[in-house]
């Protein structure tokens, strides 16, 4: 299974996830959405699989700095536009493993899914 881990290299959760994968010997490719970009079609696939509400990182600094009216008027289209414009607003990491797309890191969940 070819795994791609999407995130931002300086994100603590992404660092933990990458360290866990390395320690477990799980092969993956890292894609930095800030440096390497993110296309609208891929984001739409994530939204279709997970929902924009699950992908949008409302706890992050980038989102918290938004004007209140922008936060209140969110819908799928505006959330996707924000995530494409500022990938730091995407909850991390997003993992594509085969046909499965997931977001976030939990060592226990990943142990069940990825460890040999």
DSSP letters, the chain, are: --EEEEE-TT-HHHHHHHHHHHHHT---EEEETTTT---HHHHHHHHHHH-HHHHB-TTSHHHHTS-HHHHHT--HHHHHHHHHH-GGGB-S-EEEETTEEEES--HHHHHHHH--
Q: Spell out the CATH class of 3-114.
A: alpha beta
Entry pTM: 0.92
Can you give the pLDDT at residue 116? Answer: 57
**Of 6, 7, 11, 21, which one is the catalytic site residue?**
11
11 as an active site residue: the answer is yes
Q: Give the tens place of pLDDT for each residue, 48-96.
A: 999 999 999 999 888 999 888 888 889 999 999 999 999 999 999 999 9
Can you give the pLDDT at residue 24? Answer: 92
Please choose, from the candidates 48, 34, 32, the residue with its C-alpha nearest in 3D space to the C-alpha of residue 84. Answer: 34
Taking residues 24-47, report their average pLDDT.
Answer: 95
Q: Where are the domains of the chain?
A: 3-114
């Amino acid at each position: 299974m070819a795994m791609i881990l999407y995130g931002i290299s300086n994100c603590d959760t992404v660092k933990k996830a990458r360290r866990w994968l390395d320690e477990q010997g799980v092969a993956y490719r890292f894609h930095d959405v800030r440096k390497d970009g993110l296309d609208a079609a891929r984001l739409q696939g994530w939204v279709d699989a997970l929902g924009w509400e699950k992908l949008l990182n409302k706890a992050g600094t980038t989102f918290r700095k938004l004007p209140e009216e922008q936060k209140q008027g969110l819908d799928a289209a505006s959330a996707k536009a924000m995530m494409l414009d500022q990938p730091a607003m995407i909850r991390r990491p997003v993992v594509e493993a085969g046909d499965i797309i997931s977001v976030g890191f939990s060592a226990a969940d990943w142990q069940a899914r990825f460890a040999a």
